[in-house]
Amino acid sequence: VASLKAARLPGGDRDQPTRHIEALADTIIGISLLISDHVAQFAEIEISPLMVGPASRGVCAADAMVRLRPARR
């Protein structure tokens, strides 16, 4: 997460609380594992925005869309 261009954004600048970066990393890993386990079924996944809360609050997806591939017969 620290290598991303936006890594400085959730850091708690300007009197804002430190963001829960570990929860963000856990979420990215969890989504990646879900996709890798079911790659043939997903056509598209979009999460926007994924909000990183203060250290005690974790992350929250405001909106998510999953489009599955048609079932093969």
What string of DSSP letters covers the chain? Answer: -TTSGGGGGGG--TTPPPB-HHHHHHHHHHHHHHHHHTTTTEEEEEE--EEE-BTTT-EEES-EEEEEPPPP-
pLDDT value of residue 28: 93
pLDDT value of residue 29: 95
pLDDT value of residue 68: 96
Tell me what the mean pLDDT of segment 40-45 comes to: 95
Please report which helix (H) or strand (E) contains residue 29, including its range: helix 21-37
pLDDT in tens, 4-42: 766 665 555 566 677 888 999 999 999 999 999 999 999
Within a 10 A sphere around the Cβ of 24, how many other Cβ atoms? Answer: 20
pLDDT value of residue 69: 95
Q: Tell me which residue of 65, 66, 60 sits closest to 27, measured CA to CA.
A: 60
